[in-house]
Structure formats: C-alpha cells, structure tokens
Amino acid sequence: MRPSPLCRAALILQLCLYPVARADSFLSESLLRKNPIHNVLEHQPARNVDCKNSSPTGPIDTTMCDYETVESVNDRLYANLHELVRMPFFKYFQVDLYRECPFWSDDGSCSDPGCAITTVDESEIPEKWRASALSRLEGSKIDDRHELPGCYYRDSDFCFLDDNTEGDYYDLSLIPERYTGYAGADAARVWRTIYEENCFGLSELTLMAGPNPGLVSLPESMSEAFRTESGEVGQCLEKRVYYKVISGLHASISTHICQEHLNQTTGEWAPNLQCFINRVASHPERLQYIYFNTVLLLRAVARIGPYLSAFDYCSTGNHEDDAETLSMLSNVISIAQNAGRFDETVLFRGENANILKEEFKAHFRNVTRIMDCVGCDKCRLWGKIQTTGVATALKILFELDEKALDPATNHNLLQRSEVVALINTLHRFSESLEAVEGFREMWKATSATEGEKLIVEAERAEAATTRPKPSPAAGREPGEKRLEVVFVRWLRLCRESTASCLGLVVDMWRRGLSALASAFAPSNKERGPAGFDL
C-alpha cells in the first residue's frame, strides 16, 4: 500500500511547492471561505491523476489520499459498482425493519406513499441465501454474542446485526434512495439523536477551526501528518474520524435526496439544485467528508480483498453470474488498492486505546439502533444498510488482523448481510460524488440572475435555521490557546491579502454581534443539527 520512494519523493516535492489547497477552493481547510457555493459548483475535478500530478490540493484530512486521486478514479469506480449492486448476490438484502425503537415510543411514521417499499417473496431468493440456510451456517460457529430481541452484536462489531429469525427480503435495485417526504420534527429528532452519540463533542465548526498539521506533508504514515510543532501526535484523531464518518454519511444521504427529488408540481423525479446548494454546497466541509468516507470504505475493501475474492457469489448454478460478479468486484478491489490509502494502525493506540475503542464502538452501535426509530420504511432500510456498511468497514480496519482476514482459515468471517451492506454503501458514496458532477452541469446552465437567486435562497434558508452552540473540541485548552490560534491565523491572512484581512475583521464583528444576540435567545436544541434534514 505504500508508494515507492520515487513516487513518495515526488509527492513531498509537490506539497512543498503547493502546501495547501487554494484559499478559494472548497477543498481548503480554511474556516472562512469566499463564495463557498461558487467554489463547490465551479470546481473542476481531476482526471487521470497519479503521484506525478503537478498541483495537488493536498491530502484529505486524516487520510493518506489526496482529493484528486478520488476524483480521478470515481468514474471507473462508480461504473463498476453500479453494475455490481445489480447482481443477484448484492441486490437482495434481508432485514427486520419493524423492531421496536429503543429510544422513544413514537416513531413518527411516514404516511407519504414515497416512504413505502415492497418486499420480495422468499421463494425468489436463492436457497443458500435464505434465512434458514444462513441460520444453520451461523449456528455452526462458536461466537460470543450479546443478544437483544431480534438482533445481536459480537465484541468485534461496531453495529447490531439481525439474527435472521425475522425480517423480510428486499430487492435494492427496485428501491432507489431518494426524496420521500419524510422531514420535519420527526426526521430532525433522528439526526439530533445520532449526533448526540458523538460522544466527543465535535462539530463542523470546531473541526474546521482546529489546527491541521496534515497540510504540510504527505508522508508514509498518517501519524506523521498529525504531529504538532512539538513533535507529539495530536489527541483527537479518533474523535475527528468519528465525527467525519457521521457527518459524511449525512451529507451523502442528503445528496441522494437532492439528486432524486420529487417536483411537487409536475410529479416528476429530477435533480434539485436548490436542495443541493442548501444542504451541501453551502457547507463545503460536508462534501469533504463524503470524500473522506469514500477513502475509508475503499481502504476496508482493499484490506478484505482476498476474502471478498474467495466468496461464493453463484446463484444460478451455471456460475456465469458468479464469474461476472467476480470480474466487476476485482475491478473495484483494484481501484480500492490504489485510492484506499488510510492508515488504520495509527488510531486506538496508547494506554487508553482499548477504552476509547470500546466507547467508539458502543456509540456507533447505538447509531445503528437509532435506525429502528426512523418513521419512513424506505429511509429506515437505506439507513440500516449504510450504517451497517460503515460499521463493517470500521470492524475490518480496527478489529481484524491479517490472520482473521485469511479466507482459507476464516471463511465465515462476515455475514452475507455485512458484505452486501459494505459494497452497497461504497456505491452510495461513489454515486454521491457522481451526482455532484451533475449538479455542477446544472449550475453551468444557470444564468447569472438565476444563480444569484439560488444563492440568496440558500442564505435565507441558513439564516432561518438557528444553529446550536458548538461544543468545544475535547482536549483543547480554552481561553488563551484558542485566542492564540485565531490570532496567528489572522496575522497570516493579513500578510497574504489586505482585502481578506478586512473581510475577516468585518466577519468577526458580525459574529460577535450574533453571539451577543444568541446569548439572550432560546437554545432551540429541539431543531437538531442545522441545515441537515432527511
């Protein structure tokens, strides 16, 4: 997985010449951006990029991969995944959608027809993938489970898994993830509860405001990218990863909803540019987190590649679809080995590593259980699939050693549902990046007047949403240290541009007035995370 010395030298030289993304790029780590919506929608993705690229934007925070590499491979990745998830093995998913919500009694059920989904009769499912066969297979394994009604988890799991005794089968190729009409207080309550499982108290604001030493180099190990000026590794790697996983998942789901949005007037499904601007483009860090999750999932696929290659995907008996499935899967694994550069060995180290990991797992398991509280059947289905997919990736990266990943000695390592969820979730993120390209084409076709109206509407929608006060990042000293960081950034910005410096002064004055006003305003915590709805 490590680049060659020559390639590595080229990368380091490039990052010395171009140490950070341009200040006007949506890929910039700057908290204050000029024209963020324009920067997202007018960004030109890289094509055919490798380590000889002449002007990289820099590494994706907390990974060893740059944005251009992801952009360069996504067309091919999406094409293979889009066909792969339509193959019999990956399109049939068995799940219990009607377990009781463990957090509140009223699930706010959606009565809109768009929320409904259709099951598949078990007779249409290949026999070896039915619940009875899978239960026999699992029953033969010695496994320390922690069981709840209808589900369980093992010590290595980051999610709750169905026990296959109940639940229905669904053909995912017939159930697109899109706008359903499920919104408002019920949807906000789900996401608010999910974000409350962010036990580290991070937010978009605190992540973007925090120092990011990773912009100065792209060394072999991710740990080097997080060393402070004193040489010590920062304390918030796991915390940043956790928040970005959750926020990136949310942003990806929002992108799918905007991509297939129902026009209430015509009754037609079509991309909704205003929706995308409001939910994602006006907050560039959310798009960054989609990139981040894509790299994390690719790394998991790359690591478990031999296991996936040894799986039996045959359903018809003539092995034709098995060979076709393996061919497309091999292409995906090959791409993953190139772009999935995430150094999982750096996380969960030190004397409190096991405690932190167990806390991380417990909170993410709760996120998967919160999916039982989603009132829309279609939203609940895709929520379960994607949280299971991400949880499977986390297990692959942080719980399984090379011996466990050996298909010759551990061929029952993952449930079939975990494999299906992992690949479908990667497809969801790749499709989100593909959809962004479509929104950029829509933006190009928009007149200046229409574009200005879209931006004004996005600003109006943002102003109408009261943001909850962000929690301070764990491990950060209050007071002088935060002021020192702000002061240093201010000086740097003023040296680079007088106009930007003046703009920062005005923005800080405006923020001060806003903070003063908010001190006397209700908290509105019941609204949930600002700007993020189902």
List, by residue number, the catalytic residues. Answer: 376, 379
Q: Give the H/E segment covering residue 237.
A: helix 237-259
Label residues 49-64 b or e (16+ Cβ within 10 Å = b): bebebeebbbbbbbbb
DSSP structural state of residue 48: S
Contact 428, 76 (CB under 8 A): no
Helix, strand or coil for residue 175?
coil
Q: Which residues, 6 or more positions from 404, have their beta carbon under 8 angstroms from its beta carbon?
A: 410, 413
Helix (H/G/I), strand (E/B), else coil: 28 = coil
Q: Which amino acid is at 508?
A: M
Between helices 377-398 and 416-444, what is the axis angle to 10°? 110
Q: Which residue spans within 141-197 are E strands per DSSP?
A: 145-148, 151-154, 161-162, 168-171
Within its chain, how far is the Cα of 350 from the centroid?
A: 26
Q: Could you tell me if residue 349 is left (phi over 0), alpha (psi between -120 and 50 degrees) or otherwise beta?
A: beta
Residue 453: Cβ within 10 Å count: 13
Write out the H or E segment, with its range, that includes residue 38: helix 36-41
Neighbours of 493 (CB within 10 A): 17
Long-range contacts for 219-224 (Cβ within 8 Å, ≥24 apart)?
219/8, 219/12, 220/2, 220/3, 220/8, 220/64, 221/64, 221/343, 221/346, 222/62, 222/63, 222/64, 222/342, 222/343, 222/346, 223/343, 223/346
Task: Say if strands 151-154 and 161-162 run parallel, antiparallel, or are unpaired.
Answer: antiparallel
Cα gap 163→152, rounded to integer Å: 7
Our measurement of the distance from residue 332's CA atom to the centroid of its chain's CA atoms, rounded to an integer in Å, reads: 18
* DSSP string of 324-392, one letter each residue: HHHHHHHHHHHHHHHH----GGGSS-STTHHHHHHHHHHHHHHHHHHGGG-S-HHHHHHHHHHHHHHHH
In 3-state terms, what secondary structure has residue 105? Answer: coil
Q: Which of 534, 235, 207, 257 is nearest to 371 (CA)?
A: 534
CA atoms within 13 A on the CB side of 281: 29
| Count of residues in the chain | 534
